[in-house]
Structure 1
């Protein structure tokens, strides 16, 4: 329990007490924690101290707050290696999840300046613009805005866009996907991201921009993705270079 004579701060002791509850399986993902008032009364401490302990665990991604509802044990984050090029569908199936999509937009349009620059397109070319929420076991994981070069990936349809694009490109069109480059940055969810990802505005998200090329070097895809910060984490293997200075 809590030892007020310990040199360890009380808020830290509360954090460790909550961690043990989760480690022992007493509190599982989705379970709601007692209110700050109940914690304060149980340990005879201030609500401010309780709030500090809970906030630290929220920042670590172990707990999540829902406005007007309470604090809950967070789902375990999916770890996504940054090595190798795979599709969302392939990633989810490899983890034992059922992948899914909600397609909110599908249109053919001239490319914006950013898309034209990324895909080496002319203003007279066309792109397929897709906006999808990617699902794992019917839970929203990411919001994707995808631009596909219509001159490279042909005859794309809404039905195809709701399945695996990479499977269509490689299996149906017979093209070989070669490599991609991407950037990752942290951000806070706006109103749109919050609504579609079922989170609160201001919650942490991970923004990823990716440009994908065919094996012959032709760029065909430009993707901007917003991943839920409470559901995803990314890892990368960094071998030490054999070169020494």
Structure 2
């Protein structure tokens, strides 16, 4: 029979499971399914700490190796997350971001019922590096306004965003607008720039020391690097932005449609 531990824990209280109760599946699989059920039913909240391997093993009367295997698989599946020196926690709900509509971070967060925010890290005029110069098709004036911000949702760091804007079109932006509001709303509402479409790439990267510190993750944690060039209605590039999104809080999706075969084309 499972034994009890001296200190009560809400997860242990919710884990009403007897080893072997889920049929003949290996015990670590049964424990994994039981923990996953608790997360999906909301009995274990996002961000809640999971008891230690020793506590779980003692409470359930099974080996620590069995507990460890169940937790490792849940971490690999992004259901749980390990934080060095602090323990294992239920992963925060990931934000789904579509790849079809051209929207700003602020617009995305408001649509999800979250409060967008930003911490301005840098805003200055610089000479554009070659990659930015090519993306923005700069000619005589190679200067760009660089705006680097830590993007927040309900006060939680979500992304590091570095925008490059041609000084010839956007000589300055009020600090209050980039710290509190949407840059896209300022470009459209105040400068009359009609943002129309964008070219965007995504790739996985690992967090360096500085990015990890700002985003509140461990160095080496997975991040999603997004680079986007945004164009106005006339097809002129307006912004090149490089964003690093937390891999534990974001997932991107795109809807795919199969082209109808041309009549007479072999299947």
Common fold by TM > 0.5: yes
Mapped partners of 1:3, 1:231: distance in 2: 34
Q: CA offset at residue 4 of structure 1?
A: 9.1
2:203: which partner in 1? 185
> Is residue 168 of structure 1 aligned with residue 186 of structure 2?
yes
1:17: which partner in 2? 34
2:156: which partner in 1? 139
How many positions carry a matched residue from both structures? 245
Q: CA offset at residue 51 of structure 1?
A: 2.1
When normalised by structure 1's length, the TM-score is 0.93
Runs of 4 or more, structure 1, over 4 Å off, are 4-7
> Is residue 202 of structure 1 aligned with residue 215 of structure 2?
no
Tell me, yes or no, if the aligned pair for 1:4 and 1:10 is still in contact at 8 Å: no
Mapped partners of 1:236, 1:138: distance in 2: 27
Which one of the candidate residues 129, 148, 157 is aligned to 2:146? Answer: 129
1:213: which partner in 2? 231
Q: CA offset at residue 123 of structure 1?
A: 6.7
Mapped partners of 1:3, 1:41: distance in 2: 16
Which one of the candidate residues 27, 30, 38 is aligned to 2:44? Answer: 27
Which one of the candidate residues 65, 69, 75 is aligned to 1:48? Answer: 65
Tell me, yes or no, if the aligned pair for 2:145 and 2:170 is still in contact at 8 Å: no
Mapped partners of 1:3, 1:212: distance in 2: 56
Q: Superposition RMSD on alpha carbons, in Å?
A: 1.8
Which one of the candidate residues 245, 249, 261 is aligned to 1:243? Answer: 261
Give 3-state SS (helix, strand or coil) of 1:140's partner: strand
Deviates more, 1:209-218 or 1:33-42: 33-42
Q: CA offset at residue 206 of structure 1?
A: 1.1
Q: CA offset at residue 85 of structure 1?
A: 0.2
Q: CA offset at residue 7 of structure 1?
A: 4.2
Deviates more, 1:203-212 or 1:1-10: 1-10
Distance 1:123 1:43, change over 3 A: farther
Mapped partners of 2:132, 2:168: distance in 1: 14
Question: Where does the alignment leave 5 or more consecutive residues of structure 2 unmatched?
Answer: 1-17
Q: CA offset at residue 115 of structure 1?
A: 0.6
Distance 1:120 1:22, change over 3 A: same
Mapped partners of 1:42, 1:123: distance in 2: 71
Q: CA offset at residue 136 of structure 1?
A: 0.5
Q: CA offset at residue 226 of structure 1?
A: 0.9
Tell me, yes or no, if the aligned pair for 1:189 and 1:202 is still in contact at 8 Å: yes
Q: CA offset at residue 243 of structure 1?
A: 3.4
Mapped partners of 1:236, 1:143: distance in 2: 22
Tell me, yes or no, if the aligned pair for 1:207 and 1:224 is still in contact at 8 Å: yes
